[in-house]
A and B are shown apart, each in its own frame.
Chain A
């Protein structure tokens, strides 16, 4: 805020700029001082300028004093000058006409004797951000790039980028990029070189989609010559520039193994740098370079371990967290390599909980035969922690380690001890874990059930834990003498149970218990079904109805459905697929690692087609919804029909009513011309491809015979990314690309437009030499069903890899046919 001499502005908040009178007061004083040559005038000017800038900082609009400020700027006092530049830079954009006033003195300063003044003036000149004044920029910039002082060259290089942002055409017409390129390769000052590098990177990135030349230029930045040149000078750069260069090197594709080792030897000592950013950037280079060499890759892990661990301990907890996230990623990829370092991941008292959480995950991952005992002992200490979320997290970690199959015996004992601690949250977490454990190791049921049976269900309040307890009561009711009675009392309190999850489990548990001990449970089951049928929750109601009818139909069939002999779960579905982990690994040293989410849509430019399609989608939404209304009715009828049919059949269906009930009604009036008879033949081929789907599915396939795609499909990148993470790959196929196809790919926009005509939208694409495209399409009719495609084209080997994920996996074969035909029409295949 303001310095002490101006007390009145202490009160206004930044959002409510006030103080109009102060501003006019300042104007007046400035005007008086403007022409003054009196001794001490500079000092009072300084005070006034300071006040102006402090107002500006707080958010009060002082642009009214613009002309006065400019009038006062004719001074030799450099402090005043700097303040004036700052002011002008801030307000020139809103007052382009007044900005013209400043050009004169800035240009004059650009020819000052002092290189510092030249640099400052040039920087301010380029920071005006006024399009009309671009013409005044070119000459000083050109002179600045040839200046004898490295400071001025440094400023001029960045100035080129600023010019490009104001007016790209002027920048290119003056041929500045070429000048920068030669400067980059020859300048003795390392910071000038670094500035040229990032300016060129940014300019060519922005230009790449407009001109092929720029795209080529961007590639040359990654050429061996330039990369080696920069690497040889790396020690001259300051740490930030080093990060920049290392980032570039990480994208470099080495020609052979010698190349790789040369670079690694050169960068070896960067791992000892005190700046964590440099170390991580170096590690990224190492990891990317050795990707294809398994044994060296492993050595790299060994080598980077110590620097990373030291970095974790040396900075603030925020720094530690950033580094730990990367370590976390590496640990997840190669837990074996870290298994002897487990003590480094023990939580410290002073660690903030976000660091603790990461450490717990790592401890879980690196547990193996040799260290499980120590790790679990340590984790058990945390279970009594005052920090409840961490205590919960550590109990979960113990459970996860148990599921990894090491030393289960000891862990089960520990878990059961948790139950005796009688802390609500400990009990709750443990119950959920014991349930999972039993699903995997049914042989432990005896020990567990003895302890679980002693827990009073009144002490368990959390829905998840309650559901777990109820599940165990149902599953092991033969071993727990009072299971039916506990269930009965729970059912009596049906109305007080808020969570639908618990009520669902209660129904199932009552069923299971009934099959094992019918006389004791019959009454409770009846009560449960009655309560379930009256339940307002749709799922609970449906399940109760379903059980009710099953029992009416045949009790033995019902038992077969509800309580079949179970196989122990071998692997629980992982929450994060390895594919996503790989993606994050590709984005090492970026925020993706910290967020633990990959970032797919890198370049803004490539999102344009998507933004375009979204617009169209929004526009057409109105009319479409009108057209769709009757169709929804139809599908509703259909749904009713199919359920009533099933009621008549009364046959068992483990899939529940959803699978066929929601199948889309057939609609052939496709408006798409591009969908020719080829689609039909493709479908014919696909039919024998899926013999595993039985009669239930045929209905769905019938629907798809005329798979038509929504030409106005819209999907936002977030949803795409989520879907991509959730869905499994339904088709993954390699095909070869024709030479013409490779040539055609040099202009990917054409392909994207072509695919759009086939109602397949491109949502993102990557860089050459590996062209990567993400497409999506939506089924025209029925419930929204999307197809997601990742298409990776390797131009050097002329191979394309296509991965398709779909909401409705059965239709993906058909879609793949469509996709292929679209590609071949373009000449790619």
Chain B
């Protein structure tokens, strides 16, 4: 049972506070704030997963209603949140957490917060399914708000989100390739968010060569590149025919441990250069199609604790790259950002130039195109490009023995939109038509994120 439900701000004051059973003493919220811990009441055994899941579900439902879930939106809409909480839990027992069912009990209009200037949730983001959500561009629309234009826009969003974990080994394997893949895993989810009225049926078709389970050895052995073998699939609804609930829900979770081509190859090198010096070279190679562009990449590498100074050498002409030595954490950080404003301007000028000169100086324009392409490669992390960072470390004391053992491993964080490592694909998304003119918007997106992308030294 749940005796109390409260949401605290980072400073520890109540944003929302609901007492369901009147059994817990008054200062509970403050005690919780001071020593966050599971309550172990001496009455009955409770299943911890129930509560973690329930908290997440409440967060999700609240987000469905408020559009954005953060401190500001909670504060502005606390009456609506109370309405929700009253229906979700009664006397400590969860009742319903379906966004759709709850709709008939909620009467407050949400005050929508401009999502562009919202600060992140901070530690409370744990309730939003880890980082599985789409970063940045996630839909921030309440399920009960009508568009200013009057009619509600009929649309459905399907996100295929994959988190990949890869560990590259430091040693050499049998085939003499260095940095071979030690472990690789994909945790994927198909996330849907429906704003369709009248709950129409939806048909979602995936690749035909999808096979589930590893029981047939041939599947695993043949190593067909197109063959998709998921270890295990958890489906909320049968995929063939489903009526999506309102709001956000996970249609399917899957996990793959079959080998796949990792999007980035990482080649780190650390070498001693004299008694108090060492050199680090990190090379990353984007191993995907040129049409795909990765968003911000950060590469982190712990260096020996006695490192005093680091000087960096970025590749010539690199735009949007920064490298930094975090002295406190003894860590190198290398950031590769998407093309910034200045480079965009530059590109625009190029376009204009191209347009004018195209038929006059055909040869020159070809040259421009070449320049343009190479520039794009340099500015962005497009498929096929390669980037290198050189860093010179200066130590405060002599290193004893193996530097490689005291540095690393290298960790990479990235997001690649419109790319998925598992090759799982939505072939079509069919919505049962109510009338010939009914043609709701369908959005299908793919995102690959790094979960743990590690190269050992």
Return the chain A residue nearest B452 by Cβ. A348
Q: Is A281 within 8 A of B253, CB to CB?
A: no
Return the chain B residue nearest A89 by Cβ. B19
> Quick one: given A58-B13, A281-B47, are A3 and B96 in contact (CB under 8 Å)?
no
Min CB gap A524→B, angstroms: 31
Contacts of A2 in B (CB 8 A): 75
Contacts of B49 in A (CB 8 A): 276-277, 280, 319, 322-323, 589
| CA–CA, A602 and B257, complex, Å | 41
Contacts of A569 in B (CB 8 A): none
> Quick one: given A316-B56, A604-B42, are A589 and B47 in contact (CB under 8 Å)?
yes
Does any Cβ of B come within 8 Å of A349's Cβ? yes
Contacts of A604 in B (CB 8 A): 42-43
Q: Is A349 within 8 A of B83, CB to CB?
A: no
Does any Cβ of A come within 8 Å of B371's Cβ? no
Binary per-residue interface labels of chain B (240-260) against chain A in the complex, 1 for a CB within 8 Å, 0 otherwise: 000000000010011101000
> Quick one: given A277-B53, A348-B451, are A58 and B14 in contact (CB under 8 Å)?
yes
Does any Cβ of A come within 8 Å of B365's Cβ? no
Return the chain B residue nearest A2 by Cβ. B75
Does any Cβ of A come within 8 Å of B348's Cβ? no
Contacts of B43 in A (CB 8 A): 603-604
The residue that A277 contacts in the complex, of B44, B47, B76, B257, with Cβ under 8 A, is B47
Give the interface segment out of B102-110, B195-203, B270-278, B281-289.
B102-110
Contacts of A734 in B (CB 8 A): none
Does any Cβ of B come within 8 Å of A351's Cβ? yes
Min CB gap A86→B, angstroms: 6
| CA–CA, A602 and B40, complex, Å | 12
Interface members, chain A 550-608 (any B CB < 8 Å): 587, 589-595, 599, 601-604, 607
Does any Cβ of A come within 8 Å of B116's Cβ? no
Q: Is A277 within 8 A of B50, CB to CB?
A: yes
Return the chain B residue nearest A205 by Cβ. B44
The residue that A316 contacts in the complex, of B78, B127, B451, with Cβ under 8 A, is B127
| CA–CA, A350 and B91, complex, Å | 38
Binary per-residue interface labels of chain A (296-329) against chain B in the complex, 1 for a CB within 8 Å, 0 otherwise: 0000000000110110011111110011000000
Contacts of A198 in B (CB 8 A): 93
Q: Is B53 within 8 A of A275, CB to CB?
A: yes
Does any Cβ of B come within 8 Å of A50's Cβ? yes
Q: Is B232 within 8 A of A343, CB to CB?
A: no
Binary per-residue interface labels of chain A (242-275) against chain B in the complex, 1 for a CB within 8 Å, 0 otherwise: 0110010000000000000000000000001111
Min CB gap B324→A, angstroms: 17
| CA–CA, A82 and B86, complex, Å | 10
Q: Is A307 within 8 A of B234, CB to CB?
A: yes
Min CB gap B124→A, angstroms: 11
The residue that B93 contacts in the complex, of A165, A195, A309, with Cβ under 8 A, is A195
Binary per-residue interface labels of chain A (91-112) against chain B in the complex, 1 for a CB within 8 Å, 0 otherwise: 0010000000000000000000
The residue that A307 contacts in the complex, of B38, B232, B408, with Cβ under 8 A, is B232
Contacts of A90 in B (CB 8 A): 19
Contacts of A79 in B (CB 8 A): 79, 107-108
Min CB gap A427→B, angstroms: 12
Contacts of B411 in A (CB 8 A): 349
Q: Is B15 within 8 A of A238, CB to CB?
A: no
Interface members, chain B 115-171 (any A CB < 8 Å): 126-127, 129-130, 165, 167
Q: Is A384 within 8 A of B405, CB to CB?
A: yes
Q: Is B130 within 8 A of A317, CB to CB?
A: yes
Min CB gap B123→A, angstroms: 11
Does any Cβ of A come within 8 Å of B222's Cβ? no
Most chain A beta-carbon contacts within 10 A, residue among B82, B165, B232, B400 = B232
Q: Total A-B pairs in contact (CB under 8 Å)?
A: 206
Interface members, chain A 9-57 (any B CB < 8 Å): 13-15, 50, 53-54, 57
Interface members, chain A 64-102 (any B CB < 8 Å): 78-79, 82-83, 86, 90, 93
Give the interface segment out of B181-189, B377-385, B431-439.
B181-189
> What is the size category of the interface that chain B forms with chain A?
35 or more
Q: Is B14 within 8 A of A240, CB to CB?
A: no
Does any Cβ of B come within 8 Å of A123's Cβ? yes
Does any Cβ of B come within 8 Å of A381's Cβ? yes
Contacts of A244 in B (CB 8 A): 93
Q: Is A316 within 8 A of B130, CB to CB?
A: yes
> Quick one: given A57-B78, A306-B232, A590-B48, are A1 and B13 in contact (CB under 8 Å)?
yes
Q: Is B40 within 8 A of A595, CB to CB?
A: yes
Q: Is A306 within 8 A of B231, CB to CB?
A: yes
The residue that A191 contacts in the complex, of B45, B52, B96, B406, with Cβ under 8 A, is B96
| CA–CA, A3 and B13, complex, Å | 14
Return the chain B residue nearest A607 by Cβ. B42
Q: Is B78 within 8 A of A421, CB to CB?
A: no
Does any Cβ of B come within 8 Å of A386's Cβ? yes
Interface members, chain A 400-454 (any B CB < 8 Å): 420-423
Q: Is A13 within 8 A of B234, CB to CB?
A: no
Does any Cβ of B come within 8 Å of A116's Cβ? yes
Q: Is B234 within 8 A of A1, CB to CB?
A: no
Q: Is B82 within 8 A of A86, CB to CB?
A: yes
| CA–CA, A652 and B437, complex, Å | 101
Min CB gap A676→B, angstroms: 38
Q: Is A1 within 8 A of B126, CB to CB?
A: no
Contacts of B108 in A (CB 8 A): 79
Does any Cβ of B come within 8 Å of A720's Cβ? no
> Quick one: given A158-B91, A316-B126, are A602 and B17 in contact (CB under 8 Å)?
no
Does any Cβ of A come within 8 Å of B29's Cβ? yes
| CA–CA, A593 and B104, complex, Å | 39
Min CB gap A810→B, angstroms: 34
Could you write out 9 A-B pairs with CB less than 8 Å apart? A53-B78, A82-B79, A82-B107, A86-B86, A272-B235, A322-B49, A343-B183, A381-B409, A603-B43
- Report A's interface with B, CB cutoff 8 A: 1-4, 13-15, 50, 53-54, 57-59, 78-79, 82-83, 86, 90, 93, 116, 123, 129, 154-155, 158, 161-162, 165, 191, 195, 198, 238-240, 243-244, 247, 272-277, 280-281, 306-307, 309-310, 313-319, 322-323, 343-344, 346, 348-351, 381, 384, 386, 420-423, 587, 589-595, 599, 601-604, 607
4 nearest A-B residue pairs (beta carbon): A348-B452, A590-B45, A240-B94, A349-B452
